[in-house]
Amino acid sequence: MKEPTLRNVTALLTAAAVFSADRLVKYWCVRVLKPLHSLPVLEGILSFTYVENTGAAFSMLSGRRWLLVLLALASLALIVGLFFSRAYAHPLMDTALALVAGGAIGNLADRIRVGYVVDFIELRFVRFAIFNVADCAITVGAGLMLLYAALMLREELAEADRQKNQGEEA
């Protein structure tokens, strides 16, 4: 059997930390926040507001529990495949995939267990969706994937430019 690498262990611990933080905060939301419904944190800026979301982001696909479960499972399969394929082998992508996986597993656990996702972070200064810790991890992970793609594109363009300049010199 192949020994786990630091890369694999770090990614697994990152995903587990995201999942654990999400579960812990959602437990607090159900026990403390649900009876209060809303708790102002920074007046006019941030409130913790208990919401049971049966959809995805912005309540899209609301009420389509099993479709969302299947989409999450497919996404997780893709993430695991990408991670172990070593198609990219870059720490930025390791972190991005671990964040997305941890968040996806957190929301997936809710969907399977109770049929909805507990959301609670409400930005009061803008009209925006109410979201949770798992959503934050998924969003940051997706942002890191975009950053990785931009860095790789820049590197490829620089390499193409170097090759072009070498060809002109010859």
- Tell me which residues are annotated as active site: 119, 135
What are the Cα distances from residue 142, in Å, to 18, 42, 58, 99? 14, 27, 17, 9
d(CA 29, CA 31): 6
Strands 38-42 and 46-53 come out as antiparallel
Q: Tell me how far the alpha carbon of residue 108 is from its chain's centroid.
A: 12
User: For residue 1, which amino acid is it?
Assistant: M
Give the burial class of 28: count Cβ atoms within 10 A of its Cβ; 0-12 exposed, 13-18 middle, 19 or more buried: middle
